[in-house]
Amino acid sequence: MRRPDVVPDPTLPARVTIYEVGARDGLQNEKVAIPTEIKAEFIRRLAATGLETIEVTSFVNPTWVPQLADAAELLAELGQEGVGPRRPVLVPNERGLDRALAAKVEAIAIFGSATETFAQKNLGRSVAESVEMFRPVVTRARDHGLWVRAYVSMCFGDPWEGPVPIAQVVDACASLMDLGADELSLGDTIGVATPGQVVALLDALAERGLARERTAVHFHDTYGQALSNTMTALRHGITTVDSSAGGLGGCPYAKSATGNLATEDLIWALEGAGIDTGVDLEALVATSAWMAEQLGRPAPSAVVRALAGA
């Protein structure tokens, strides 16, 4: 299989951690129910490529996201492969945490919003009310020794409110991290960010005391900017990147959101810059091509299309 020519880029970090979201964020918007055993096989294949961190599923109310209604069954199917500090699951509230704890998970993610409209549509609460909802979730999770990630959606733009002021985003991020989360993920939910915005937000977060080493980026590719925004973030101190195998993804509550940054596209760029990811690109392309067959359509990833076709 063809590989990128390597020209080391000293402006980038020596190693990048990939936080794989394909099994959760990638599949949550699929309209046709995917069998639990297919999801489990997808996760096993992703793990076999060398991806260390894989977000497995979500313990949200099944009426919110029907595709993930089988969260408990999926974790039972995976057994030890589905739990551990590198197998986080999304939880929206204490009921979700109860289900996650019953499944013996060791890492969770909560999900807030930088805008009021999306907070109401996604969580049925204001931004402030959602923070209070998450307070006991994080406290109990930490009491049980769980690792906790905090997602913040709509960090760069909102389909209802338009551009989001940086100070508003910083406030939303700080309020969730102040609860005791270990890691922050900045979500460009509708894929409108540009590199200048990325730098401005990272600088503002640093001024607030939110360290880059505890911050990840999560870009959607609606306008084809996900990879350029990611490379900009990496050049400004970020070392953890959310991406989705094959470029799968979308958001049930933001219809303008398209797929995530494709993991294969990210790895191609990083390998070309001489950066170690620990992931077997050929095996990952094969995994995404297999998943595309299960879904009955080509993978959105440009690298998958190029290499699988070749």
CB-CB contact of 23 with 40 (8 Å): no
- Segments in the chain below pLDDT 50: 253-254, 256-257
Nearest to 150 by CA among 127, 174, 166: 174
pLDDT of residue 6: 97
- CA–CA dist 130, 298 (Å, integer): 37
What separation in angstroms does the CA of 262 have from each of 48, 133, 202, 266, 310? Answer: 18, 32, 22, 6, 18
CB-CB contact of 215 with 240 (8 Å): yes
pLDDT of residue 33: 93
pLDDT of residue 251: 52
pLDDT of residue 97: 98
Question: Model's pTM, two decimal places?
Answer: 0.96
User: Can you say how many angstroms the Cα of residue 123 is from the centroid of all Cα atoms in its chain?
Assistant: 18
Q: Residue 261's CB: how many other CB atoms inside 10 A?
A: 27
What DSSP designation does 259 have? P
Active site residues: 251
pLDDT of residue 234: 98
- CA–CA dist 92, 43 (Å, integer): 22
CB-CB contact of 19 with 243 (8 Å): yes
The type of residue at 109 is A
pLDDT of residue 99: 97
Calculate ∠ Cα 64-223-89, nearest 5°.
35
Dump the DSSP string for 160-195.
TTBS--HHHHHHHHHHHHTTT-SEEEEEETTS---H
297 conformational bin, left if phi > 0, alpha if psi -120 to 50, beta if neither: beta
Nearest to 257 by CA among 231, 219, 294, 304: 219
- Helix or strand holding residue 47 (H, E): helix 36-48
